[in-house]
Structure 1
Amino acid sequence: MSQSATHPGQKRHLEPGPDHPITVRPHGRRVRVQYKGRVVADSARALELKEASYPAVLYIPREDADMGALRRTTHATHCPYKGDAAYYDVLVDGTTSANAVWSYEAPYPAVAQIRNHLAFYPDRVDKIEEL
């Protein structure tokens, strides 16, 4: 693993390696996300990101999500391996699931495939189905 030089106030940038592997590949199955009975994402083009010993995460192309049901929030996080994540609420019929979705809008080169994709927290939506 190599770490870029950092200065005070800069965010860490680490490269995946044998001690922290990351793979991104086509998921191969259709993925449908529902909240309050509404399908907010439906894709046959989802990507599966596996990172170290963490559970796999499915990333759905924005084109396959109902962006009208999502609202950008001010919440943000930083992953030294993937970059800065932006968050979205899911809004359906007056009900909001706060920060239920995240997206790496300018991911680091090692995971560039997840640009323009969304990931949903399973416990903040009703279901994530793999069909």
Structure 2
Amino acid sequence: MPRATLNGVTLAESDHTEVVEGNHYFPPHSVNTELFRPSETTTHCPWKGDASYVNVEVDGAVVEDAAWYYPEPMDAANNIRDHFAFYGNKVDVAG
């Protein structure tokens, strides 16, 4: 089952992720958003749309822009609406 962890703490876990461009996108109900902190970072993908980022805080340590999601994706990426993906160089993603 795909799982995202940071320092041994589970951030997300689900057997129903959407894999896009090699990234697991976890559905909103499977993510521990209590560990998320606001980020001002946004990016744009020509076919997915505008991504919003979050910082992740575990045991007082904050990892900036560790995860992103598409709150209003373009039609081609509607399957990942509000799903969270994590940067593999910042968060351990296995599965």
TM bucket, shorter chain = over 0.9
Larger radius of gyration: 1
TM-aligned CA deviation for residue 72 of structure 1? 2.1
Could you say which structure has the greater relative contact order, defined with CA pairs below 8 angstroms and 6 or more residues apart?
2
The size of the alignment, in residue pairs, is 95
**Runs of 4+ off more than 4 Å:** none
Cα deviations across residues 48-81 of structure 1 (Å, max 9, x unaligned)? 113xxxxx11100111010001112111011111
Stretches of structure 1 that go unaligned for 5 or more consecutive residues are 1-29, 51-55
Is the Cα–Cα contact under 8 Å of residues 72 and 86 in structure 1 kept in the other structure? no
TM-score computed with the length of structure 1 as normaliser: 0.70
Task: Give me the CA root mean square deviation.
Answer: 0.9
Stretches of structure 2 that go unaligned for 5 or more consecutive residues are none
TM-score computed with the length of structure 2 as normaliser: 0.95
Percent identical among aligned pairs is: 34
Match of 2:16 in 1: 45
What CA distance in whole angstroms lies between the structure 2 residues aligned with 1:72 and 1:48?
24
Query: Normalized per residue, which structure has more strand?
Result: 2
